[in-house]
Amino acid sequence: MEAELVALASAGAAALVQQMVGEAWEQARGRVAVFFARRSGRDVAVIDGELEEARAELVEAERSGDEETRTEALAEWRGRMRRALRNDPAAATELRALLDELEGPSAEPRQAVRIHNTVSGVTQNGTLIQIGTIGRVDGVDLGGPRAG
């Protein structure tokens, strides 16, 4: 279950950062602020201010070609989303609905892609997760044989 929450948090952070530098940000900002306020007990206006500050940094980073700022923003919002999901089981349903709303109808049909990883050499027991496109998380299949 933790891997699914990590994937959902990653998708949420990617969508959020993409929206922050896009034209539809004003429409999304309020919903995102409410989502985080419900989980943190903090005032919506405070979170809204944090979102606007992050947006300003991202817009400036886009202009200057600063990829590091975008990477840092993704990590920060992924962490916040992961904590929200871990602390409130109902948050996953709300975040999926928010992602559907933020991404809107897709112009291109989605196609399923199967990825098979083989890890060889010196290995440590653990989970290997590979994500091709981070976007809507309709289903994450982390099944398959486990290393023994």
Output the tens digit of pLDDT for each of the chain's 148 residues: 578 888 899 999 999 999 999 888 988 899 999 999 998 889 999 999 999 999 999 999 999 999 999 999 999 999 999 999 998 988 999 999 988 887 765 444 445 556 566 666 666 666 666 655 555 444 455 555 555 4
CB crowding 3-23: b at 16 or more within 10 Å, else e: eebbbbbbbbbbbbbbbbeee
Of 99, 129, 115, 109, the closest CA to residue 8 belongs to 99
Classify residue 48 by its DSSP letter: H
Global pTM reads: 0.67
Q: What is the pLDDT of residue 109?
A: 47
Total length of the chain: 148
